[in-house]
Structure 1
Amino acid sequence: MKRIILTGGGTAGHVTPNLALIPKLKKEGWDIRYIGSKKGIEKNLIKSINIPYYGISSGKLRRYKDIKNLTDPFRVIAGCFEALRIISKLKPNIIFSKGGYVSVPVVVAGWILRVPVIIHESDLTPGLANKLAFPFAKKICVNFPETLSYIPKEKGILTGTPIREELFLGDYKKGLKLCDFDNKKPVIMIMGGSLGSVTINKVVRSSLDKLLKSFNIIHICGKNNKDSSLENIKGYKQFEYVNEELPHLFAAASLLISRAGANSIFEILSLKKPNILIPLSAKASRGDQILNAKSFKKQGFSEVIEEENLKKETFLDMIINTYSNREKYIESMKKSNNSNGIEKVMELIRTHYKK
């Protein structure tokens, strides 16, 4: 039986595409193992679907001054030795890495043991962990055409990101029922990321009086961010977090408003949903979401409001204009051949695994 090691962790974004690949890998008869960090978010996500999990030491690779910069390199080195031991024992045919700091020791160990490695880079500009891992990879999958200019020409391939199959199985009526909506008004769904966004939550709630005249509103506001004073407003439904409900809520929505993390926006692209992106500010990130959003706007998939410009009037005007021109965005997304990367990634795995 062919064996593949998946790796990636630290955030859900470094795990979700791996989760999307797993059903296809199982269907094609692969024995799947996962190497992640000992305490990261990926551990519970992978164990919950009964994939054998191996935890290794990992340290964060920082661009800024921090006392942990003195100790974390030793954790990375320890992780390399642990990964070498695990990979030597498992003897995989190939390694697929979704990035994050824990993936670097796995990729390096795989290269030392002559196991082919494929890396996936989600954002328009590569993160530091993947930059360090690129020299050890056979192929590097990317989501954006622009990313190809940042990586070795002979290694890069535009695949898009693997999308979870269940997102395509949503039911419009179930989505409405989950929110106690009728079908007389179109639905806007607003997502501020897994932790929510104070800025987005504030502008949404301040705009409800105007929005609810024309739309029903689904607001995924983040943990502990519900406003109890708004719980019984007709046409407005708050969720702290959604999981199994997400496909049905997507199906019910006519317009999406979202952060611009790569996984989220490629899910939106796959579902062909008109959307407005509000990328995380460069003050709170390395600016990758801003670049992701600009690329989607350039390709005609999205409208963009930068967080610094997020005011009630701008927000309302953008919603009206985007919804009125929704068919334009849908047509642009239909022309994209880069919406779901599962098959392209699987073809690379089939081509490059060690026989």
Structure 2
Amino acid sequence: MRVLLAGGGTAGHTSPLLATAAVLAEDGVDITCLGTPRGLEVTLIPAAGHRLELVPPVPLPRRLNGDLARVPSRLRATVKATGEIVDRVRPDVICGFGGYVSVPAYLVARRRKIPLVVHEGNAVPGIANKLGARFTEHVATSFPDTPLRHGQYVGLPIRREISSLDRLAVRAEARQHFGLDPDRPTLLVTGGSQGARRINQAVAGAARDLAAAGIQVLHAAGRVDEVAIDPLPDGPPYVIRSFIDRMDLAYAAADLIVCRSGANTVTEVAAVGLPAAFVPLPHGNGEQALNAHPVVQAGGGLLIDDAALTSTWVDNVVVPLITDLPRLDAMSSAASDLVRRDADQRLAEMIMAAGAAR
């Protein structure tokens, strides 16, 4: 079977694509991925050993402006390029994960009458997948209540090294990997693949308070120039990285995470039972807050508005929480039973069934 997987731009689209591709490859499926030159897929997909075809990006503006008038001509060019790739690859099924690159893939699938599978990563569906869901009955969602036509809850595919992670079993190895103390309370901080200025500055500004409480920090900043700390002499480690490629070990090293609430992050931290303080992105259509709600409502995390995240909040809330082991244990238990860890297998089965029925 030949499958074309369309998705890219951010980790929110690329990560579930790669997790699904790994399962399909194990089953002998011939995989081609479709992306644009601007996204993470340019690096991550070839590194995973999959073929990558590139088409020009066609951003869909959220507001009525001059860019909106240019969308049709740009889209026509990208659809033409996508059609040429599809005619050459001849996939039995196309699966899109949303974002810019999925729209031309959905349109070509419809024109060529190729079976289409749509996967929506967020609790609130994006424009691309609302379109794709009109063309197929094979629609998978990451959250049970996502309002998407034909939606079937399968969960969000995540990497095997994370879905199978036993945090406690590899904690010592993980802390050694990052140069952390083996026994101190450990805070993991990340704003996603591109960082988050608000998170970077709020946590860095509380570095002395964290150190005074004996808390060490592993901080994936995206931009390290946004993290200026004033460490205590001989205080706990404060490790700053621009990017962490071994997030499985980062999760294992941590007792608590401060992070955005993209669907991928929410699913991963819940799956491994890592207590979280979620800071939703302040713009968009509100999907990040909705992504985090199930975990927060179950008691596995906290929700803090971006504007309210300050160094004082870190001192008043994070410091007492990360040193409260019974509460952390309760949060971990509450989170770990919420999400499906086998979504990669479920989505792969949906894709193969759609292709086999052609």
Q: Determine the structure 2 residue equivalent to 1:151.
A: 148
1:295-350 C-alpha deviation (Å, 9 max, x unpaired):
32123331111112223343333322466311222222233252441122122123
Aligned residues: 347
CA shift, 1:259, in A, is 0.6
The answer as to 2:332 corresponding to 1:330 is yes
Q: Deviations over 1:164-209 (max 9, x none)?
A: 1233467322321233322221211111222322222222122222
Alignment of 1:180-219 (within 5 A): 180-212=179-211, 213-219=213-219
The answer on whether the counterparts of 1:301 and 1:330 sit within 8 Å (CA) in structure 2 is yes
Counterpart of 2:260?
Answer: 259
Deviates more, 1:229-238 or 1:271-280: 229-238
* Code of the aligned partner of 1:103: S
Structure 2, unaligned runs of 5 or more: none
Q: What is the 5 A alignment of 1:1-355?
A: 2-147=1-146, 150-152=147-149, 155-167=150-162, 168=164, 171-212=170-211, 213-225=213-225, 226-227=227-228, 230=231, 234-243=236-245, 245-281=246-282, 284-319=283-318, 320-321=320-321, 324=324, 325-355=327-357
SS at 1:35 equivalent: strand
| Further displaced range: 234-243 or 116-125 | 234-243
Distance 1:332 1:69, change over 3 A: same
Question: Amino acid of the residue matched to residue 251 of structure 1?
Answer: A
- The aligned amino acid for 1:178 is H
Over 3 Å counting, the alpha-carbon distance change for 1:111 and 1:71 in structure 2 is: same
Aligned to 1:145, the other structure's residue is in SS state coil
The verdict on how the C-alpha distance between 1:28 and 1:323 changes in structure 2, with shifts beyond 3 A counting, is farther
Taking only the aligned residue pairs, the percentage that are identical comes to 26
Q: Please give the alpha-carbon distance, in whole angstroms, between the structure 1 residues aligned to 2:37 and 2:180.
A: 43
> How far apart are the structure 1 equivalents of 2:145 and 2:155?
12
**1:61 partner letter:** L
SS at match of 1:6: strand
- Do the aligned residues in 2 keep the contact of 1:269 with 1:339 (CA within 8 Å)? no
* Contact 2:59/2:100 (<8 A) preserved: yes
Task: Quote the Cα distance in structure 2 between the aligned partners of 1:146 and 1:187.
Answer: 34
Q: What is the alpha-carbon distance in structure 2 between the residues aligned to residue 163 and residue 279 of structure 1?
A: 20
Note the alpha carbon deviations across 1:26-75, whole angstroms, 9 max, x for none.
11000001122244432332223332222223311112133332223212
Q: 1:93-149 deviations in whole A, cap 9, x for unaligned? A: 2111111111111112112222111111111111112112221123221112221xx
Report Cα offsets for 1:202-257 as digits up to 9, x if no partner. 221222223222322111122233437559853211111111x3222211111111
Whether the aligned pair in 1 keeps the contact of 2:185 and 2:322 (CA below 8 Å) is no
Aligned-pair RMSD on alpha carbons? 2.2
**Which stretch shifts more, 307-316 or 87-96?**
307-316
Give the TM-score of the pair, scaled to structure 2.
0.89
Q: State TM-score, norm by structure 1.
A: 0.90
Judged with a 3 Å threshold, the aligned counterparts in structure 2 of structure 1 residues 140 and 50 are, in CA distance, closer, same or farther, namely same
Q: Contact 1:187–1:217 at 8 Å: present in 2 too?
A: yes
Which residue type is aligned with residue 215 of structure 1?
I
Instruction: Quickly say closer, same or farther: Cα 1:202–1:40, change in 2 above 3 A.
Output: closer
